[in-house]
Amino acid sequence: MLSVDRLCEQLKARGRRLTPQRRAIIQVLLENNTHPTAEQVFTHVREDMPDISHATVYNTLRELVEMNLLRELDLGLGERHYDFTTDNHAHLVCLGCGRIEDVPCDGNAVKLSPQHTHGFQVVDYDVIFRGYCPTCISQKA
Ligand SMILES: [Zn+2]
Ligand SMILES: [Zn+2]
């Protein structure tokens, strides 16, 4: 399981400075495992640390992504979302309200046959199911 302490240790192990701000950002990401945007992370962290800057939040998110500890998702909702769950899973996205759910996705479900890779070494892919959640369906009816 991911924990704030373990993630902080990984940062330190890679020679990154561990500031109280970074710790707070990691904590917010873990506690709100709802695929927040950078802006939502910023708003949450600021509740405890009113002095934190946008740049600190954005830079920390970028570093965590670069270190493969955090996934950056473009779900077609206009903003990037952040996800600490880096193992294979797909996303269900509501086009009405932007609700995002994790759904299991077997890595073998999406496979490029060798003749279709154009010589690429594929390292990542995203599977996104788009539609409308029950709340949005009942509001439309
Ligand atoms: Zn919805
Ligand atoms: Zn996810």
Query: What is the DSSP secondary-structure string of 68-123?
Result: TSSEEEE-SSSSEEEES--SSEEEEEETTT--EEEEE--GGGS---GGGSTT----
pLDDT 10s digits, 24-58? 999 999 887 789 999 999 999 999 999 999 999 99
**Could you tell me the mean pLDDT of each successive run of 10 residues in the chain, 141 residues long?**
84 87 92 88 94 95 91 88 85 93 80 87 86 94 77
Considering every ligand atom shown, identify the ligand nearest to the alpha carbon of residue 95 and give its number: 1
| Ligand whose nearest atom lies closest to the CA of 81 | 2
Give the pLDDT of residue 107: 66
Q: What is the pLDDT of residue 28?
A: 92
Q: Ligand 2 centre from 47 Cα, in Å? A: 24
Give the pLDDT confidence score for residue 1 in this predicted structure: 63
pTM, entire model: 0.82
